[in-house]
Structure 1
Amino acid sequence: MRILRTVLIVVLALAVGGGVIAGILILGVPHSRSDNGNRAAPEDLPRFASEAPLVRASVPVGVGVAGLADPRWIASTSKATGIPQRALRAYAGVAIQVADAGTGCSIGWNTLAGIGEVESHHGTIFGGTLNAAGNATPAIFGVPLDGGSFAKVPDSDGGAIDGDPTIDRAVGPMQLIPNSWQNWHTDANLDGVEDPQNIDDATMAAAHYLCRAGGQQLGQEAGWRKAVLAYNGSGAYLTNVIRHATEYAKEAAS
């Protein structure tokens, strides 16, 4: 039986390019995959997680970002890392699409996976799952951001995104607060619906957010750290993302 632990990370707003981008919140989450007694001490961790290689599909498999990575690579990497295939297809596909966009921003699938692990265990938090379409089932909603244990984030969406008309909550497998989703919403799976509960859409929105924060320096330490801390302004959060993203890269290469 897994031991439950609660991770409390405060939402942080970051001013970027003259505009204020709302932060993103982590849920209280169950025991993490790396909390197994063999965790590397913080001083033993790399300072940031470099981008890990992936294999593209010779011909896209299906529609949207989930079909951009080679299915054999997805299967073998999922087995090596324990990342559910449906989530990994989103992380890898978004990394490919961002690289192909020509913006100068490049983000590793392992970074997106590290964030997805910390935020919601790849959409499986509290016994949930991702269905074939990539939708979190049941939908994932964070705690009320009412200024108690967390920062206060007044309602910005009338409950349209987070189901709460009184206060904001983080939503979906990548735990975007409504304001972040309103800024970076996208339809990455090309189903005609922009949905923060969908792993493809949510991961692409998260990548847009990270690219905005880190820009063309995202592949270097300063830009990478800046972007992850913009996503959640906590040193403990940064360390956890580094740990998971680095482990995923090593496991995929083994």
Structure 2
Amino acid sequence: MQPLFTPAPADSGRGAALGVTGVIVVISLVAVTIAALMVIPVISNTSQHLGSLVGSGVICAENEDAEQPDASGYANDSIPENYLELYQEAGEDRDIPWNILAGVGQVESHHGRWDGPGITEGHNDWGAAGAMQFGSLDGSAAGNSWGGEPIQAVEDRPDEGYGLDGNDDGIVNVYDPADAIPAAADYLVEHGIEDDVREAIYGYNRAWWYVDDVLEWADRYAEGDYTTSDSQRNAVVCDLDQEGEPIGDAPDELSQAVVDWALDQRGLPYIWGGTGPEGYDCSGLVMKAYESVGVTVPRVSQDQWEFGPEIDQGEEQPGDLVFFDVQREGEPPGPGHLGMVVDDGLMVEAWCTNCGPIAVREYDDPNRADIVGFTRPLEHPDVKSQLEAQG
């Protein structure tokens, strides 16, 4: 499902949201520009918040986000009773927070009460329809993530799309919240809400301000304290891979020191142009990691890529660098983002202002930009000379 979506950028596997007001794309560009100047708060780098450790990718604890909070008084007063029940049922069934679904429903349609086009019939100007604003019109900007006609018999529903018969009435109806809300839950699950709440919501509507709005409503709807940062925090403190083995086990003492230093920066914020100690950008983190062992490498990612030496994919090991096909206007040619390999398929990275703190993430994630390649700076002749000079 890609509600209110335009086609995804070439380097993305997801669509981009247009928004219920029809101005999301324009506003999001401004919002992202402003967000680039902001600093996110530091997330606690302690393990006391983690439950029993289990192997699950970079998530080392049970998904606490899946625990269903009680509805606040505000939720009971402001969400229509039938919608509240549907959000809670879908959240319980899919093991995702019901209040996140409610936040999506509020931002998309005010829980079906917005009087704009496409909520109870027809489509908006971009081909989205229903309370959860699924794309449901072939050939439209939003596409048809619902799958088939907006209203169709169960037996006519195609294999593609997220539309379903949530209330077992034999009809798959994008305008029926009993069908659309569990379908939205399935979409969030498919886009990895168990591992990264913010990224999953971003996949629903590609604007970071939209993510913030959804989470603000989710917080209002939950009784008492509620956090959606557990998976992110786990990625900050995680020390095990999916087999339950320690990450960051480098092949030699020097690489180990570089990896240890980089992992110790987890929890600090991404700061554009940052070289510490308050925070770092992607290349600043790498530069300082190698500087910690007395090695000088170039400052920016494009130069770090050229510095090399390049190694074949599949041969990478902790301490190596992985580069991504990210290019920004005004920057020199070459990969504009990188991370440091810490395990098979895992890296530590400073990603972006809105992507969370420095943390361990997967580098072979299909939702990330394409990998350009890998390098091993400790094998560079200049680096070897620097190390020899240290005695």
> TM-score band, normalised by the shorter chain?
0.5 to 0.7
> What is the rounded CA distance, in whole Å, between the counterparts of 1:118 and 1:43 in structure 2?
25
Contact 2:4 2:20 in 1 (8 A): no
| Selected match of 1:207 from 167, 173, 185 | 185
For residues 2-81 of structure 1, the aligned pairs below 5 Å read 11-13=5-7, 22=15, 25-28=18-21, 50-51=65-66, 53-54=68-69, 80-81=76-77
Contact 2:4 2:133 in 1 (8 A): no
Contact 2:75 2:220 in 1 (8 A): no
Unaligned segments of structure 1, at least 5 residues: 1-8, 30-41, 56-72, 100-106, 129-135, 146-168
Q: 1:185 to 1:10 in 2, by over 3 A?
A: closer
Q: 1:108 to 1:21 in 2, by over 3 A?
A: same
The residue type paired with residue 118 of structure 1 is: V
- For residue 60 of structure 1, what is the aligned residue in structure 2? none
Contact 1:80 1:252 in 2 (8 A): no
- For residue 234 of structure 1, what is the aligned residue in structure 2? 207
- For residue 180 of structure 1, what is the aligned residue in structure 2? 145
Contact 1:189 1:201 in 2 (8 A): yes
TM-superposed deviation, 1:180: 1.0
Task: Say yes or no: does 1:88 pair with 2:66.
Answer: no
Q: Please give the secondary structure, in 1, of the residue aligned with 2:115.
A: helix
Q: Please give the secondary structure, in 2, of the residue aligned with 1:125.
A: coil
Task: Say yes or no: does 1:124 pair with 2:113.
Answer: yes
Tell which has more relative contact order, 1 or 2 (C-alpha 8 A, sep 6+): 1
Q: Please give the secondary structure, in 2, of the residue aligned with 1:194.
A: strand
Q: Which runs of 4 or more aligned residues in structure 1 lie more than 6 Å from their structure 2 counterparts after TM superposition?
A: 42-47
Contact 1:24 1:170 in 2 (8 A): no
Q: 1:24 to 1:208 in 2, by over 3 A?
A: farther
TM-superposed deviation, 1:219: 3.5
For residues 125-204 of structure 1, the aligned pairs below 5 Å read 125-126=114-115, 139-145=120-126, 169-178=127-136, 179-182=144-147, 183-204=161-182
Q: Please give the secondary structure, in 2, of the residue aligned with 1:117.
A: helix
Contact 1:120 1:173 in 2 (8 A): yes
1:46-79 CA-to-partner distances (Å, cap 9, x unmatched) read 99x9456257xxxxxxxxxxxxxxxxx7xx7576
> What is the rounded CA distance, in whole Å, between the counterparts of 1:54 and 1:193 in structure 2?
31
CA RMSD after TM alignment: 3.8
Q: TM-score normalised to the size of structure 1?
A: 0.55
1:55-105 CA-to-partner distances (Å, cap 9, x unmatched) read 7xxxxxxxxxxxxxxxxx7xx757645111111111111111113xxxxxx
- For residue 93 of structure 2, what is the aligned residue in structure 1? 97
Larger radius of gyration: 2
> What is the rounded CA distance, in whole Å, between the counterparts of 2:221 and 2:114 in structure 1?
19
1:121-146 CA-to-partner distances (Å, cap 9, x unmatched) read 00011299xxxxxxx9x71545322x
Contact 2:73 2:223 in 1 (8 A): no
The residue type paired with residue 184 of structure 2 is: A
